């Protein structure tokens, strides 16, 4: 991947394995297109802060809806006023463009 793409407007591609995970250079380039996401332990992750539990749960429901539409599902940890989201493509045991697309779509929720 050489040029920046609009991740939030992209669609996830089916991934059943058989493709290589992204390289470190590809991960670095895609990570630059996301705000406050980190690459650690083989996943990309971000903690979102909210005013209260209701807002955190509303975000979880929106994230679940987006994930279902993209058929690409994160690990989500919820607290009273925060939510941590982690993406990895389990089928390839690493990161794919799908992880970054979904991350960008979650961030775009705050632009609505």
Kindly list the domain boundaries of the chain, sorted by start residue.
Answer: 42-112
Cβ(74)–Cβ(46) below 8 Å: no
Calpha distance 97→41 (Å, rounded): 17
- Mean pLDDT, residues 84-99: 95
pTM of the model: 0.89
Per cent of the chain over pLDDT 90 is: 79
72: confidence class by pLDDT, cuts 50, 70, 90: very high
Q: Which tens digits make up the pLDDT trace of 46-61?
A: 999 999 999 999 999 9
For domain 42-112, give the fold: Gyrase A; domain 2 (3.30.1360)
How many Cβ atoms from other residues are within 10 Å of residue 45's Cβ? Answer: 19
């Amino acid at each position: 991947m050489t040029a920046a793409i609009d991740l939030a407007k992209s669609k996830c591609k089916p991934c059943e394995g058989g493709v290589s995970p992204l390289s470190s250079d590809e991960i670095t380039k895609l990570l630059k297109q996301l705000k406050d996401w980190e690459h650690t332990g083989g996943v990309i992750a971000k903690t979102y802060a909210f005013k209260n539990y209701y807002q955190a749960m509303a975000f979880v429901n929106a994230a679940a809806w987006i994930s279902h539409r993209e058929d690409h599902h994160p690990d989500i940890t919820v607290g009273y006023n925060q939510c941590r989201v982690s993406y990895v493509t389990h089928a390839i045991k690493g990161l794919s463009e799908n992880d970054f697309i979904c991350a960008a779509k979650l961030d775009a929720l705050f632009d609505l």
